Structure formats: structure tokens, C-alpha cells
Structure 1
Amino acid sequence: MNKKQLFDIATQWFQQQGWKPFPFQKQTWEAFLKGSHGLLNAPTGSGKTYALWIAIVLDHIKNNPDYRSKDKSGLKAIWITPLRALSVEIRQAAQRFVDDIGLSWEVGIRTGDTSQKERAAQKRKMPDLLITTPESLHLLLASKNYPRTFKDCTAIVIDEWHELLGSKRGVQTELALSRLRTVAPKLRVWGISATIGNLQQAREVLLGPSSRALENSVMIKANIKKKIRVRSIIPKEMETFPWRGHLGLHLLDEVIPIIKNSRTTLLFTNTRAQCEIWFQAILAKYPEFAGEIAMHHGSINKETRLWVEEAIRNESLKAVVCTSSLDLGVDFAPVETIVQIGGPKGVARFLQRAGRSGHQPGKDSVIYFLPTHAIELVEASALQRAVKKNTVEDRIPYLNSFDVLVQYLTTLAVSEGFYPKEIFPEVKSTFCYQAITEGQWRWILNHITIGSQSLQNYDEYKKVEIEEDGRFKVNSRGVAMRHRLSIGTIVSDANLSVKYITGGYIGTIEEWFISKLTPGDVFTFAGRNLELIRIKNMVVQVRNSKKRTNKVPSWMGGRMTLTSQMSELLREELYTGREESTDSNNRSRELKSIAHIFERQRIESIVPSNRQFLIETFKTREGFHAIFYPFEGRFVHEALASLLAYRISLLSPITFSLAFNDYGFELLSDQEIDMQQVLDNDLFTVDYMHSDLQQSLNATEMARRKFRDIAVISGLVFTGYPEKGLKIKHLQSSSQLLFNVFKDFEPDNLLYQQAFTETFEHQLEEGRLQQALERIETQEIVWKQCKKPTPLSFPIITDRLREKLSSEKLEDRIRKMRLQLEKL
């Protein structure tokens, strides 16, 4: 068949649906038919699935003109999705097309939710298209005869590539692609990505920096101008001294009319704890929503999540309070309105969430921004500017993740075994390991066979054997089974199942939270008040309770920080906001609404310009406060606060308690800092930053915690069998023991060194910290000695108080503080 005949099959099908193909869809079909690899950049809800799925099918028809006859079985294409929730949507879309054109292809799913029966059926006969996750793809690579499974595969599509890039799951994907390119010579690699700042690099990581695939690749952009309208919910009464302890609940009454006036609404929160609190608050104040509102986050059981997703589709639910579990492309066409509660901390995340509204080509997206405190309206204003400029973040890819490589090589050794001379060039062709040396490669091979230098005497670390012909192979069934159970790079704190004492499963909760409760305590989870009965065999047994409680689970992954692009936008907006009210042409509605806060800030101190760096000092009954305002996000502020506290203590012995938020940080002490002396001693210099940071933060202790994840991913520590997981303290002690062994006897151990690299590069964002210091060095330092706390400092002070006080006491304390401060 020629190109026109092939395109006619697709366009006629589009006409039957009442659609018309977009230019980017046709460009993708053409590029794929020419044999190109590529990256498709398309927004959520634009028809990107059909751009690539139809291309794969048309390519098959081109080579098999009698395509309607019974097709021989075998895997022809793989579709990788980062979220299991997306797989059902993709299968429905793909199956619909092949069924309608009379192609007898089967579309199958293989994820952690796939039943054992279905997996066994797939082993006998693979579907034509397999929709799977990075982890499940690696499990297939750990199966016997995997080269035969993949040999006729002609395409692999990595969906939502921007979500995988910049994570170890992305590295997993890179390694799987390096193997599949060898075993499936006809394979074409395509990625689908929403807009990110470094699209060209995203394509390079996907295809390999020096591969022939990159040379024969295209970048296709869907030039669909999706209009996003951002509407801020501005409180009728605005606090002059804002604080964030109430999670935005003071605006609950403003949200209800939005929900009532929309067919369906998604309320996005930044954390699972906030999701639980908002859901309870709506039902408590508006009980008429019972049965019309639901909750969706990653710790709720799968059946409930699927029910919620289906209920949104058929509009039987009015609203869903959710977290990032609904960020990605689950196709909810009827969702009319989005409410973002609190700053989303990143432009890309905000645009992704906005795209859930009007999730159809040509439809406008409407997103309401609900500030949890007044200064977040500056973020709302910055987001509006970002939407106009189409400013989005880069996703920085990982380099030299040796723990993932150790896991991958063991995976290959579990299945067919591997020859290092064959695998090394494949590994080196990936972006992550392009700079790996022969010495590092030999170290990795030694590690999986003899357990590295300091573990040679322990048989449990000798997982892989070298056979006579030089093949590396796992021959122990026990080692193979434990390894298959451990494949993956997502390491969370130990999760315990939450079940009713009568047996019903509710969801999962982290051990660190539940370990603080005693039997009889009541906590809120999955929208219910539950009484803890006991913890038995990694299961939290509960029963329903009618008691009111303020105990809401928080999850260790709940802390979010501003991205570097968001920080920059925030600073720009703040500098605009400082302009006197006489010239308000540049000021948004949000900035005008908080003009009185800027005005009060100017009375007490200043609102800094882009050429100024503000430090405020004042005394209260708690002690001497020094507040610094870099506006760089909480992770950078956490590191910077520790760094400055250490440097100040070198000049005079002084101890501090630290507090920080996304805008600035506080050093609180019982003695006054000689600020002028400190500033005269190059407080913000980049010189010696790395060594000072190591001293100030106890980097060894932070690396020790980071090493637990590395130990789990690399297989040094086994997390346990299903329903019999190891307790978190056992995991921690096992990994700490290994960490100490490497520290004392093998400091050049690559996994030990990786713990420090990841601590500085990812956790402390050392690169951003250096840029912040370099920027501050170019600014005029303005030190203001204030009589009392200022509007900008108030949220930082109250953040620290929240750690010490219950929510009721905190509200009372803050109310008194505000009344005192508001007296001029």
C-alpha cells in the first residue's frame, strides 16, 4: 500500500468519530512510516495516543496488505506508561481503533495490578501491543527466553517521558531500551512528552547521546494553542500578617459555589495529608455533598481509586479532592473545573493540572488558584505570567546511578545471563552511563560476583556466578526469586496495610506515622475516622470511630519545594509588587489585592528590589530573630540556613534553631548576632561552600539515610516478601551497618560515594545553592533592624511554632500575635 491509501484508512476512521486529524498526528504517521525515531511534544488531551498508535498500525499494514486475515501471534509494540492508572485508558483507545478497522490485534496490560492468571496467559501468548511500566518491563527482561519475546517488536513508545526523565525510573527505561535495541533490530523508539524546558536533551536521553537512532530522529511539536485561564480566589478580608497554618480552609465557603456551578471539579492539593483534611472539612460543613464527593491519592486502595476514576468519567461524582495521583493523562473529558489549593511549586505541574480541565482539543482550560495564605497570591500572579510566556522547567537527567546498573545486570543474569563484552557497549550508549570507565565497570562486575572488596567473605553478596564460557549467570533459585521481588527504583518508607479488624482493606500508611500512635488513638485516613486496635504482621488493624480527631497521616514524600524557574518568576513578581501604588499598570489583580501587605512591609522594613538582598533582625520574647529572604524554595533555604549558621558560629560561639519556607529562612538564638561583623566576613561567599556545607549539615548522616535507598535498589538489602516486609528500623540498621563498613574499610566503594553525590546534587540542590550565593554576592545587602516581626517574616515564624503546638493552641497564639502586630 502507498502512503495515500494508508492515510485514507486513518482519516476515514477519524471522520467516523466526527474528528479531523491534527497536522502533528499526520507528521508523526509520516515520520514513523519512513523509519524514523523521535520525540512527540504534545499537551494533555490533544490526541497524542492516536498520533503514535495509528502510526504503528499503518506501518504493519504497509508490510502486510492482507492485514484483515488472522495474524500470527507475537509482540509487535510496547507502550511504557509511568502510571498504572493510565494503562486502561490507553488500552481502550488502542483497541477501539484496531477493532474498527478490522485488525485482529490484542491489546494487553502488564503492571503490578495484573493478575497471576493473566500473566501466565501472556507467557503462553503475548498480546500484539503490551502496555506496561518500567518496572514490569524489567521483570520481563528477568524472564527466560526474553530475546525471543521481543525479537519481532517494531516499536516502543515511552509515554509521559517528561515524568520519567530526571528520575531513576528514567534510568531504568534507558537501560531497557539499550537491551531491546540489540534483541529487536527493527525497533523504533518514540517518546511522548509534555512541554519541558530541555526538549532537545530529553530526546538525546531517550535515544542515546551518540546513537544512530538520534541521527535518524525527528522532533514533532503539536502547535495547539490551548488557552489556560487562571482565576485567583481572593479573600474578601486579607490578613496583613499572613500565615499558612490553616491550609486554605478559611476559603472553603468560596470554593463551594465553584463546585456547585460545575458539572465536575478536581480539587488538587499538594500532599496526601492536605487532601484528607480538605475532604473532611467539606463534608463536615456541607454534609449534603455526601455521596457526591470523593478522594483520590496514592495510598488509597486500587479498587477505590478505579471507582473514583470511573465515577468522574460518567459524572456520578460532583467533585474529587486529589493529589498528583491524578496529575497525568487519565482521560477525564467531562471534568469542567480545576481548583489548585496552595502554590503548586512548579509551572509544569500547574499547566499539567490546568490541562485536566477542558481535556479535549480546542477546549479552554479553567483553573482556580486558592491561596493558603496571602503571599501565595504573588505565586498566582507569577503563574499567570508563566502561562503567557509558556515558561516551563527543565528536567535534569541522572548520571552514573550505579545502584540501578547493579540491579539491571543482576536482572540480565537472572534470565539468560550476559557476557560483559556485549553488554558494556550497550550500557555506555545510554545518557546516564556515557562516561562510565573501564575501572568502574570492572568494579560493578566484581560487586555482583564477589560482593566488592569488603564483602568478599560473605556468601549472601555473591549473587552472580561466572560460568566457564565467561557468561555471568544467577543459578540460585532463591537469589532469582528475591531479585524479581525487588525490581524497581521507587523506595518509600515501610508501608503498612490498613485493614478493618473484620478484614476489609482500606489502603497503606507509612510506618513512621503509625509508630507514633498507641492503641485507642483515632486518626483520619481515606476520609474516615479510624481507631487503632493493634499492629500485627505489618498490618494496621482498625475500626470506625465517631470521635473527632486532628491526627491526619503525613507522608515523608509530602514536602515540595519551588522549582528554580518558579523561584525566578516569584522574584520577578515580587519586584513588580514593590512598585508604589501610583504606578499600577504592571500589577496584576492579585498584586493589587495585597498592596496593603506591601505597604505595611515598607513601614516596618522594605520590599526588596531585584538589586537588593534583605535581612531583617528583631527581638521577641522567644529570642533574637534574623530573617533572610533569598526566595529560592525551601530545599535551598534549608541548606543555606545551615551553611550560614555554621559560618556565623565560627566567628562567635552561638547556637540557632532554624525555620524556613519557600520565601526565606530564620536563625533564632538567645543571643544577638553582630550582623555587621558577620557581613564583613564574606558570609555569602561561594568559596569553601562544599566543605562548609559538609560540616554544617553533618553530610555523613544525610548520606547514611540516602544510602538506605541505594542499598535497597542495588540489592544489598532485601526488603522482604509480600505481606512480610522488613520493619523500617531493620532496613535502616542493615543499611547503616553496610554504610559503616564501606566508610571504614572501602571508602572508594561506588555505592557509598553515590550516597554523597545524591545528597548534595539532589537533596540539597547544591547547584542551585551555588547560583543563589553568586546572585546574592552581586546584590546590595540591606540589613533592617526592625522593632517587631514584619508581614514577610510572619509566615516563617508561625511555621516554626506549628512544630511545637497543637492546631487549636497555634490558632489562638497566632491570633494574639496578629492583634499585637496590627497595632501601629
Structure 2
Amino acid sequence: MTGSAVPKEIEDWFAGRGWTIRQHQRDMFAASQAGKHAMLVADTGAGKTLAGFLPTLADFCPSQFGEVGPPDGLHTLYVSPLKALAHDVQRNLITPVEEMGLPIRIETRSGDTPSDRKKRQRSKPPHILLTTPESLSLLLSYPDSFLMFSGLKRIVVDEVHAFATGKRGDLLALSLSRLQAIAPAMQRAALSATVAEPASFQQWLAPWGDLDQTALVIAEAGADPEVEILLPTEERVPWGGHAATWAIPQLYEQIKANKVTLIFVNTRFLAEYTFQNLWDVNEDKLPIGIHHGSLSREARRKVEGAMARGELRALVATASLDLGVDWGDVDCVVQMGAPKGSSRLLQRVGRANHQLENPSRALLVPGNRFEFLEATAAKDAVDEGQRDGEDFRDGGLDVLAQHVMACACAGSFHEVELMAEVRSSLSYAWIDNDIWDRVLSFVANGGYALRAYDRFKRIVRLKDGTWRLTHPEHAARHRLNAGIIIDSEMLTVRFKNGRSLGRVDEGFAASLSAGDTFAFAGTCLEVLQIKDMDVTVRATSKSALIPSYGGARMPLTTHLAARVRALLDDRAGWGRFPDDVREWLEAQDHRSVMPAPGKLLVESFPHHKRYYSVYYTFEGWNANQSLGMLITRRMEERGLQPGGFVANDYSLGVWGLKPIADPVPLLSPDILADEFVDWVQDSHLLRRAFREVAVISGLIERQQPGKRKSGKQVTFSTDLIYEVLRKHEPDHLLLEAAWADARARLTDVGRLADLLDRAAGELVHLELDRVSPLAVPTMVMMGQERVSQGSVDDELLLEAEGLAGLAMSPD
């Protein structure tokens, strides 16, 4: 194919629908014609997917292939973060392919694909294969992958922002490098609607050192979204709670008024909880569905099909559907609870109308007053077109080990050649000879402390520097266990006599150490030990140090946190807030001070014969939860008799039997070098991180032929190896990887470190005679057991009103 003109068949198809090819679609086509890779940033509804596939469709137009005939074999790979998105793209691609009469076969491949189809796809692949990073990596582990991908012309990575900065992105980056080695002429394309720094993703997409051959295409802006904040019609904005149950009656009226309403929540529990509350008020028996990752494949497919056919009036969903799924009849998107980031909100808002010229309509439903401020900050960011996102970091060594094993399964490799291939990706350009040798050594025999065990001997080095499998059975075992997503486990809380009290999320249990106390099932419990999948406890008369916890939490972005601080400091802007929120802030400004930008406010006050301190950090729940653990340890050492703490995205509340006269020593940066290390070593955090990297790297197998290990069995195996390595090889590759995960992902240690570095210069400590208005939402959480997030019960409301009355009363 020569020239840069879009084929006539495609031009005619657009014209037949009354459309014109947009400039960014032509630019993507031109980049492909010039032999370049391309990164596209375009608003939702701008035709991103079609822009990515335009060069592929062109190659199959009769006017281009002429008498030679259409291309044969696998032509284009499409990689998405979600199975649902791949199926949606397949539905949407079939229409232009069929209407233009193009000879293209399109299929999907994921963990849900039947095994016989998977086998056939390797021997007789379709022209376009829609898949996920994990399934692509598995395909590359087969010896016939060299033949299957040798003629690959193009790979399209959709919603690249959703996974490029994490371990799934590491796996995909390595797969891109391998594909480029197999098919050197392959072109890369990436698509996104919500990238804060497009140039960073352009660099991630490009082969290392080949940035000038990677085009960055920025599309024209679409219609501005219409975002509103839903407020109570009769009541006040709640002091506490996250489920926004107050809004259910108003939400139901919205559902009745709209054609289709898509309701997003932040956790699977809240999806079930909101769905049930809507059914309780659904007097008209409207068809309302639910979609989240814990549902069976059949249930998810059923609701996706119902939405595609226009059979639902509303759908409650988690992040399982907030990427790219195109349902044109959705006329309103609702975000229940805090949005946590402007890019995430924009992504979800874009599910409505899904047309560039028409504005998407969205409602934000805050669960409490701080969430109202966060919703306002997110709305302002959307209105201004400001986006946020996660930073890129070095690729994970556990993912690299998995990839090396996949390459060995496909065939023997030369270490120098594979290292060059690995280093051609931005994620692993930092790998040096020493780290590479350690990775190879680990894959070969598990490392120094484990090399005596035959089951860890997976690859062997020949004299010429070539590596191969020690036995073919290792390939089958790798394919059974490869993957990046590790399901979170639930641990059972039980007494020493074996009686069970229930289960807690592993993320919460991981932060506990022997001697810690927490409230559960109406009882204060002391941790005796955490072993396998059990938290063994005893009842105690001590106060619960950790009174609350919740399941998986989306982090509050740094960008949005800064905006919330700015709102608090912008007194002139308070006039646009509801009266009760404005009065709340004015009372705070009168009695105390505002936690403005560049200021770390700490308030201390007595209440009911105890002494409380609230730290307004705005660093997110993970960082605040970790800081609470560390501060209470220091308080204990200094004889301040800590009683407990509670954390949310905005603040940390700590109480004890003695007052904190000066919080500065509690926040000195050396806390990360001393108490942090001790806490991580003593708690379950490092063990949990080690289990995940052990599974990802292939050291521990979750599955054997015909049988899957239980979480308890996997934990038992990894705990044994963990103890061996800590004792005999403390610098083992996986311990290093586990530390990196524990420090970054499990504790947000980067944000915590920044906070501690700023503390000495920014800290403002106020000693008050009673609770401040701003502290009320934090105080409401104190002492309240929250096994799962839900509605604010009567007791919590009464406590909130009592505290609020005290805080808001005149001097």
C-alpha cells in the first residue's frame, strides 16, 4: 500500500453514514503510512477505536490489495485492560467490516475463551485478535508464537492509561519488545481519553531510543461535559458515611426520568449495597442490573448483552465497566461517593452519550461533607479540562522473571540478545548486567538458598550463553500459573479454641502485628498471631487501637487533594456551597484555622477525658493508615498511652490518655528508617507482598493439573520460603521485589515520605478546648466498627449530631 490517502471504500462508508473522517483519524492513518508508531489522546466519543484500526481496515480494502488478495494470517492485535471492552470492540468492529464487505475475521481471546478455540487460534489465527496483556503473554510462551506473530503488522493498545503504570503494563511492555523482535516492522498504537501527560505515555509506547519514530496525536476537544453535584432536598449534607444512602430516593427519580442511567461505585460491596437499596424503592419494577468483577462470567455477559440491546433502565457497576464500553443510549452517569481523581471521573462521565459533539451528563453524589468538597474539586478539574494520573516507575522484577520463563517456554534464548530485547522497553531500560544475572539465576534455580531443590531448577545455561528449559513439563506448569492479577484473600478471625468470629480483608490483616487491638463483631480483640489464613485473637479490656477498616480503596490523587486544600483556603468561594457546608467552614475558620496549601494543620483537644489529635494530611487513606500505625508506636515509646487511631483520605485522628504537647517529634522523617522497617517486618505486610511476587515470578504455583491450591496452601508454602530466605539469603531478588511493593503499593510510602519531609517546616499545631468543626467527620469514625462500608446507622448519626453541636456552638 502506498500513499497516504484513506481508501475509497472507507471514505464512502463514512459518507454513507453521514460522517466525515476526523483529522485525528487521518493523522493516525498518516503516521501508519509513514511507518511510525502513534499515541492518540482523544475525548470519549471521538472515534478512538476506529482511528486505531483504520490502517488495518485499509489493508483489507479491495482497492488496496487488488489481484494479490487480502493479507493472510494474524494482521492486528488489540490489547485492552478489560475482557468486557474486548467483546464490546468486537461488536463495534463487525459493523463497518460487514457493511464494507471486508474479508476480515475477528475473534477475542481471554481466560474465558474455550480451550479448543485457543488451540485453533494458534494454528489458524484470525486476522484481528482482541485480547488482554495476560493472554498475550501466554501466547508468546508457545514455540509456534514465532510463526504466529512473524507477519504481525500492528498492535493497538486501548485505554493505555488504565494499566501502563502498573505491573500489567510491565508485562505488556515486555510483550511489545518480544513482538517487535519477532516482527521488526510491527507498528504500535496506543489510545486514551484521559492522559495527564501524553508525552510520558508516548515514551512508554516507543521502543527505547526510537521516540522520533513515534507520533503523538492530540485530537480536537469535544463538547464540555455537564457535571452536577446532587444535594439533599430536605436534609443536610451528612457529616459521615460513604455510601450516600440518603440519595437513593432522588437517584430513583433520576432513573425514571432518564432513558438509561449508569451508576458507578468504588467497591464491589457498595455495588451490591446500592443495587439492593435501589430495588427496595423500585416500585415501578424497572429493569436494573449490576456488574462487578466478583460475578460469574455468565452473569457479566448477560448484563452486558442486556445493556447492548437497550433492555436496562439502570446499571450499578464498579470499575469493571468504566473503560471504553460504548453504550450510546446512556444519557446520565452517576458517581456514588467520592470520585478520587479527575481522570477517573472523566473516564466514567464519558460513558454517557458517547458522542463527541454532545455533552456527557453526570451527577456526583457525595457521601459526606469532605466528599462534597472532593466532588466540587473534581467537578472544577473536569470543567477546566485538568487530568491527573499515576507516575511511571521501574518495572517489577517479579514480572521480568515471569517473562524470562515465558521466553524459555517458547524456545531456547541467548542471554545477551534477550537482555537487549528487555532493555528496549522504557519499563526495563534501567536493568544492568548485575540485575540481569540475578534474574536469570533466580529463574534457573530459585536463588542461592533454594538451588538445592530440584523443583526450582527450571532453566539451564549452555556453554555458548544459550538458556533452555530443564524439562518440558515446566512449560505446562508456567502456562497454568502465569498472570499478574492476584486475588485478595479473606482471613478468618478466630479465638484460640477455634471458634470463628468472621472474616476480614487481607489488606487490613496485613497491617496487624501481635499485640495490636481492633474492634470486630462488637468486641475489642487483641491479635495473638497471624498464620496461614487465620488471625488468632483473644478478647481484651484494652481499647481498640484500630477501630475501623474497609475493603479495597481507590487512592485520592495528589492533584485532587491539592484542589480540596485550595477550596478550603478560598473563603471567597465558599458562597457557592450549600448553607450547611459553608457554615461548617466558617465555624472552623472562626474557632481554629484552615489546612491551607503549604500548611500541615494538627489540632489537639480533650474530649470525654481523652486527648485527641487530628492531622489534616490530605495524603490518602493508605498513607494515613500507615502514619497512624507509626505514630501510635512512637506515642507508646514516649509514654503517651495511645488508645487508637482512625484514617480517611483527608485526615488521621489519634487519641490517647495523655496530651500531645508537640507533634513534631512524632513526624520526624527518621520514622521511615526505624519504626517503618520494624512495623513492616513484624506485620503481615511483607509476607503478603512476598506471596504476591512469589506467585507472579513463578516461584510458587497456584494451580496444578486439575487442581487449584487454596489460599491457605499458597500462603503456607510462601511463608516457609519467606522464612528460609530471610534467614539465609536476605538480599534475595524476591525479598527486594517484595520490599518495593510493600513500601510503594501497600503503604503509599512515597506520599508518606513527602509529608514527613514537609512536616517540620509546614506544621501548625493548635491546642483547642474542644473538638473543631473540621474534626467532626474524623471523630465520628472513632470507635465505630466498620466491617463493611454501608449506611450511617442511628448511633453514628446521634454521635455526629452531638459532636457537631459541640463544635458548632457559639463560644
User: Normalising by structure 1, what TM-score?
Assistant: 0.86
The residue number in structure 2 matching 1:643 is: 630
Distance in structure 2 (CA, Å) of the matches to 1:441 and 1:719: 26
**Are 2:231 and 1:234 aligned?**
yes
**Are 2:645 and 1:662 aligned?**
no
**Are 2:667 and 1:673 aligned?**
no
1:798 deviation in Å?
2.8
Shifted more, 422-431 versus 99-108: the winner is 99-108
Distance 1:749 1:209, change over 3 A: same
Distance in structure 1 (CA, Å) of the matches to 2:239 and 2:458: 57
**Are 2:180 and 1:181 aligned?**
yes
1:239 deviation in Å?
4.5
Distance 1:691 1:194, change over 3 A: farther
Decide which of 606, 612, 617 is 1:619's aligned counterpart.
Answer: 606
Distance 1:588 1:366, change over 3 A: farther
The residue number in structure 1 matching 2:240 is: 243
- Name the SS of the counterpart of 1:6 in structure 2: coil
Distance 1:267 1:588, change over 3 A: farther
Q: Which amino acid aligns with 1:791?
A: P
Q: Which amino acid aligns with 1:288?
A: D
The residue number in structure 2 matching 1:533 is: none
The residue number in structure 2 matching 1:450 is: 445
Distance in structure 1 (CA, Å) of the matches to 2:12 and 2:661: 74
Distance 1:643 1:152, change over 3 A: same
The residue number in structure 1 matching 2:302 is: 307
Distance in structure 1 (CA, Å) of the matches to 2:163 and 2:241: 32
The residue number in structure 2 matching 1:750 is: 733
**Are 2:75 and 1:76 aligned?**
yes
Distance 1:781 1:50, change over 3 A: same
**Are 2:781 and 1:799 aligned?**
yes
Distance in structure 1 (CA, Å) of the matches to 2:756 and 2:254: 43
Q: Which amino acid aligns with 2:606?
A: K
The residue number in structure 2 matching 1:732 is: 715
Q: Deviations over 1:312-343 (max 9, x none)?
A: 23321111111111110111111000111110
1:138 deviation in Å?
1.0
The residue number in structure 1 matching 2:193 is: 194
Shifted more, 120-129 versus 689-698: the winner is 689-698
Distance in structure 2 (CA, Å) of the matches to 1:390 and 1:88: 30
Decide which of 544, 561, 564 is 1:570's aligned counterpart.
Answer: 564
Decide which of 324, 338, 344 is 1:343's aligned counterpart.
Answer: 338
Distance 1:674 1:298, change over 3 A: closer
1:724 deviation in Å?
3.3
1:510 deviation in Å?
10
Aligned residues of 1:73 and 1:126 also touching (Cα < 8 A)? no
1:300 deviation in Å?
0.9
The residue number in structure 2 matching 1:501 is: none
Tell me the percent identity: 29
**Are 2:806 and 1:820 aligned?**
no
- Name the SS of the counterpart of 1:294 in structure 2: strand
- Name the SS of the counterpart of 1:92 in structure 2: helix
**Are 2:406 and 1:411 aligned?**
yes
**Are 2:290 and 1:283 aligned?**
no
The residue number in structure 2 matching 1:811 is: 793
Distance in structure 1 (CA, Å) of the matches to 2:397 and 2:709: 24
Task: Give aligned pairs, total.
Answer: 757
Distance in structure 1 (CA, Å) of the matches to 2:442 and 2:2: 54
Distance in structure 2 (CA, Å) of the matches to 1:410 and 1:386: 44
Decide which of 330, 349, 358 is 1:363's aligned counterpart.
Answer: 358
The residue number in structure 1 matching 2:528 is: none
Give runs of aligned pairs for residues 482-521 of structure 1, distance below 5 A.
482-494=477-489
Shifted more, 90-99 versus 37-46: the winner is 90-99
**Are 2:337 and 1:354 aligned?**
no
Q: Which amino acid aligns with 1:673?
A: P
Q: Which amino acid aligns with 2:467?
A: F
- Name the SS of the counterpart of 1:288 in structure 2: coil
Distance in structure 2 (CA, Å) of the matches to 1:177 and 1:434: 14
Distance in structure 2 (CA, Å) of the matches to 1:728 and 1:323: 25
Distance 1:68 1:113, change over 3 A: farther
Distance 1:19 1:699, change over 3 A: farther
Decide which of 357, 379, 387 is 1:384's aligned counterpart.
Answer: 379
Q: CA RMSD in A?
A: 2.9
Q: Which amino acid aligns with 2:725?
A: F
The residue number in structure 2 matching 1:16 is: 16
**Are 2:291 and 1:296 aligned?**
yes
Aligned residues of 1:605 and 1:786 also touching (Cα < 8 A)? no
The residue number in structure 2 matching 1:762 is: 745
Shifted more, 445-454 versus 455-464: the winner is 445-454
Give runs of aligned pairs for residues 132-281 of structure 1, distance below 5 A.
132-210=131-209, 212=210, 214-239=211-236, 242-244=239-241, 247-281=243-277
Decide which of 310, 321, 324 is 2:319's aligned counterpart.
Answer: 324
Distance in structure 1 (CA, Å) of the matches to 2:628 and 2:294: 33
Aligned residues of 1:241 and 1:790 also touching (Cα < 8 A)? no
Shifted more, 616-625 versus 123-132: the winner is 616-625
Distance in structure 1 (CA, Å) of the matches to 2:77 and 2:629: 47
- Name the SS of the counterpart of 1:398 in structure 2: coil
1:627 deviation in Å?
1.2
Q: Deviations over 1:179-235 (max 9, x none)?
A: 11111021111111223222211111122332x3x2211100112233111111111
1:102 deviation in Å?
3.4
Distance 1:272 1:810, change over 3 A: closer
Q: Which amino acid aligns with 2:695?
A: V
Aligned residues of 1:232 and 1:590 also touching (Cα < 8 A)? no
- Name the SS of the counterpart of 1:465 in structure 2: strand
Decide which of 448, 467, 470 is 1:472's aligned counterpart.
Answer: 467
Distance in structure 1 (CA, Å) of the matches to 2:33 and 2:104: 19
The residue number in structure 2 matching 1:771 is: 754
Distance 1:68 1:398, change over 3 A: farther
Q: Which amino acid aligns with 2:228?
A: R
Aligned residues of 2:74 and 2:151 also touching (Cα < 8 A)? yes
Q: Deviations over 1:686-730 (max 9, x none)?
A: 356433422355476422211110000011111124873222222
Aligned residues of 1:699 and 1:756 also touching (Cα < 8 A)? no
Distance in structure 1 (CA, Å) of the matches to 2:44 and 2:753: 35
Decide which of 717, 721, 742 is 2:700's aligned counterpart.
Answer: 717
Distance in structure 2 (CA, Å) of the matches to 1:128 and 1:403: 33
Q: Deviations over 1:5-29 (max 9, x none)?
A: 5343322111112211111111111
Distance in structure 1 (CA, Å) of the matches to 2:188 and 2:389: 22
Distance 1:5 1:174, change over 3 A: closer
Distance in structure 2 (CA, Å) of the matches to 1:124 and 1:231: 52
Q: Which amino acid aligns with 2:233?
A: K
Q: Which amino acid aligns with 2:777?
A: P
- Name the SS of the counterpart of 1:219 in structure 2: strand
- Name the SS of the counterpart of 1:763 in structure 2: coil
Shifted more, 370-379 versus 114-123: the winner is 114-123
The residue number in structure 2 matching 1:53 is: 53
Decide which of 592, 601, 606 is 2:588's aligned counterpart.
Answer: 601
Q: Any unmatched runs of 5+ in structure 2?
A: 492-502, 510-532, 534-547
Distance in structure 2 (CA, Å) of the matches to 1:35 and 1:55: 11
Q: Deviations over 1:747-776 (max 9, x none)?
A: 111111111122112222222222223444
User: Normalising by structure 2, what TM-score?
Assistant: 0.88
Distance in structure 1 (CA, Å) of the matches to 2:237 and 2:109: 54
Q: Which amino acid aligns with 1:33?
A: Q
Distance in structure 2 (CA, Å) of the matches to 1:85 and 1:413: 31
Aligned residues of 1:73 and 1:125 also touching (Cα < 8 A)? no
Distance 1:152 1:459, change over 3 A: same
- Name the SS of the counterpart of 2:64 in structure 1: coil
Q: Which amino acid aligns with 2:269?
A: A
Aligned residues of 1:719 and 1:725 also touching (Cα < 8 A)? yes
**Are 2:618 and 1:631 aligned?**
yes
Distance 1:70 1:35, change over 3 A: closer
Aligned residues of 1:380 and 1:590 also touching (Cα < 8 A)? no
Distance 1:384 1:322, change over 3 A: same
Distance 1:414 1:696, change over 3 A: closer
Distance 1:58 1:611, change over 3 A: closer
